[in-house]
Amino acid sequence: MKKLYLPLLMTLVVVLSSCSKKMGELSSDYFTVTPQVLEAVGGKVPATINGKFPEKYFNKKAVVEVTPVLRWEGGEAKGQSATFQGEKVEGNDQAISYKMGGSYTMKTSFDYVPEMAKSELYLEFKATIGKKVVTIPAVKVADGVISTSEMVAQTLSSANPANGDDAFQRIIKEKHDAQIMFLIQQANVRASELKTAKAFGEEVKNVNDAVNKKITDIEISAYASPDGGLDLNTALAEKRQDNTAQVISRDLKKKKIEANVDTKYQAEDWEGFQELVSKSNIQDKELILRVLSMYSDPEQREQEIKNISSVYKTLADEILPQLRRSRLTLNYEIIGKSDEEIAKLADTDASQLNLEELLYAATLTNDAAKKEAIYNKAAQNYPNDYRAFNNLGKLAYQAGQYDKAESYFKKALSIKANAPEANMNLGLIALSKGDKEAAANYLGKASGSKELNEAMGNLYIEQGQYDKAVSSFGDTKTNSAALAQILAKDYNKAKTTLSSIEKPDAYTDYLTAVLGARTNNSSMVISSLKSAVAKDQSLAKKAASDLEFSKYFTNADFMEIIK
């Protein structure tokens, strides 16, 4: 960094008998300003000014107020003043020795406005010796302002608003269950249970005959209750499986239905026993459940439970009979409309589509006008769902119609106040207006939105937290992500991001030119800036005063582009 010692103060040596000594004009050789070229960070323009008072300069009775002033054509902004006093002045300001001189540091900050892009930092002085005011000319100490961070308002146009996704499923898995019950130690399917089997068969036929349904398989699971010997229960469960399978297979053959039938049996249904007990109001059920957790051997479990004589009869009457069964399960799929059918109906008769199908229809086209027409139909047919309004707002945002987008997003929130997508999108709108507080508030309510990290990246840029912004963007390929990487000086990643943006615009090219300037790649600067200006002529004026390109202000190719 160039070292500039700027005399904050000219010689203030005044003889005790006279206060009329003439003060000379100050030089800029006694100051250092960091950064040398001022830069906007988080909406502020910070600067640190280090000054030195030479020996025998500061009059012992002098008081000097120093004020940083950022000047531009048509305006100025004043920073925080600092006051210094001579050794014989009574006061609480920093005292400066006449004989030794002294150094000081001033920190100041200005609220950024676009006019500052072409500005200069001056120090203004107000000096008094006793009652006499001494005029000291202002001194220029730095140039400013690099305003690349403020481009987030423009790069937001490439941000990805959150979408209210559909829940459309072309194939929905369903099942239908029934149970055939058996008497204790019996495996024959009784006449009363044949009615259950017949009703199950009718459901199988209905599914088989439906044009939009397809049978996956039929499961038969047979069980015995966990009382009695293991060998007896094994044979009993297996027999129940076989008898049930015969009944079902016979019915399928009669109805001419081809379906895969999977069978299995379980000798002692301890899992079912535990479930039924835990849901019951049986006395001492906690004791029974404790027995089940303590013992794994089936015979020991059965004996311990029988020892609880106070409840065993209740178990035998209410729980065990429910475990003597064969469970029938029909697994099938409901097959939704094809993409072609959905797209056609969305265009011709949207009333035949449910909400999820209609929202899904919008994903089948890349035509923004068609998407808008579909979402309008969804909003009309299903006005109590926020997603269509949110997605209409997304389309408006992507078209640069922020006021229209904001209106749709607020409509979405009026339907569902905690809708994460609409909150996130209103956060983007707030950022586009420079309202960081409102943006943070909206984004704080957007948990669950897939695009939230990207939106937070934009907020972090606005807040001047560039490393956090880079981390939040991750592998997102947008202008804002590249901007964060440039500001964080991760130039390799920025180059990869800019070259990977799907639809590069004028600001993509402009950022590439900035990257070229920061990496001393003159060909990148010229070619990218030429492309940017060809897409957006207003960028020529921006480049003409953009201190990112200060080294090119005398370059013939650069001047030809911005003229």
292 touches 245 (CB < 8 A): no
Q: Which residues contact 360 (CB under 8 A, 6 or more apart)?
A: 166, 168, 342
Least confident of 259-273, 477-491, 527-541: 259-273
pLDDT at 29: 84
pLDDT at 25: 61
Q: 456 or 25: whose pLDDT is higher? A: 456
| pLDDT per residue as tens digits for the range 55-92 | 888 889 989 999 999 999 999 999 999 999 999 999 99
The four Cα atoms 162, 164, 168, 169 give a dihedral, to 10 degrees, of: 40
Cα–Cα distance for residue pair 347/353, rounded to 1 Å: 11
Least confident of 1-10, 155-164, 489-498: 1-10
Could you tell me what percent of the chain has a pLDDT over 70?
A: 95
Q: 69 or 273: whose pLDDT is higher? A: 69
Least confident of 249-253, 295-299, 440-444: 295-299
User: At 448, is the pLDDT very low, low, confident or very high (cuts 50, 70, 90)?
Assistant: very high
pLDDT at 12: 36
pLDDT above 80: residue 299? no
Query: 171-335: which CATH topology?
Result: 60s Ribosomal Protein L30; Chain: A; (3.30.1330)
Q: Mean pLDDT over all residues of the chain?
A: 90
Q: 227 or 512: whose pLDDT is higher? A: 512
Decide: residue 313, CB within 10 A, 0-12 exposed, 13-18 middle, 19+ buried.
Answer: exposed
3-state SS of 17-81 is CCCCCCCCCCCCCCEEEECCEEECECCEEEEEEEEEECCCCCCCCEEEEEEEEEEECCEEEECCC
pLDDT above 80: residue 182? yes
User: At 6, is the pLDDT very low, low, confident or very high (cuts 50, 70, 90)?
Assistant: very low
User: Residues of 131-158 as b/e, b for ≥16 C-beta within 10 angstroms?
Assistant: eeebebeebebbbbbbbbbbbbebbbbb
CA angle 11, 14, 17 (to 5 degrees): 170
Q: Which helix (H) or strand (E) holds 356?
A: helix 355-361
Other Cβ atoms within 10 Å of 125 Cβ, number: 19
64 touches 172 (CB < 8 A): no
pLDDT at 1: 37
pLDDT at 14: 35
| pLDDT per residue as tens digits for the range 365-378 | 999 999 999 999 99
Three-state secondary structure call for residue 276: helix
Mean per-residue pLDDT for 219-226?
Answer: 93
User: At 294, is the pLDDT very low, low, confident or very high (cuts 50, 70, 90)?
Assistant: confident
pLDDT at 238: 96
Cα–Cα distance for residue pair 454/159, rounded to 1 Å: 8
pLDDT above 70: residue 501? yes
Q: Which residues contact 282 (CB under 8 A, 6 or more apart)?
A: 288, 311, 314, 315, 318, 319
Cα–Cα distance for residue pair 532/505, rounded to 1 Å: 8
- From 170, 258, 168, 264, select the one nearest 207 (Cα to Cα): 258
pLDDT at 22: 38
Cα–Cα distance for residue pair 339/362, rounded to 1 Å: 11
pLDDT above 80: residue 11? no
Which CATH number fits the domain 31-146, given the four candidates 2.60.40, 1.10.10, 3.10.450, 1.10.1060?
Answer: 2.60.40
pLDDT at 261: 95
User: At 309, is the pLDDT very low, low, confident or very high (cuts 50, 70, 90)?
Assistant: low
Mean per-residue pLDDT for 117-127?
Answer: 92
Mean per-residue pLDDT for 110-122?
Answer: 93
The four Cα atoms 247, 250, 254, 258 give a dihedral, to 10 degrees, of: 110
Q: What are the start and end residues of each CATH 3.30.1330.60 domain in the chain?
A: 171-335
pLDDT above 50: residue 396? yes
Cα–Cα distance for residue pair 33/123, rounded to 1 Å: 11
Q: What are the start and end residues of each CATH 2.60.40 domain in the chain?
A: 31-146
- From 38, 9, 34, 11, select the one nearest 22 (Cα to Cα): 11
pLDDT at 26: 65
Could you tell me what percent of the chain has a pLDDT over 90?
A: 74
| pLDDT per residue as tens digits for the range 155-171 | 998 899 999 999 999 99
Cα–Cα distance for residue pair 500/502, rounded to 1 Å: 6
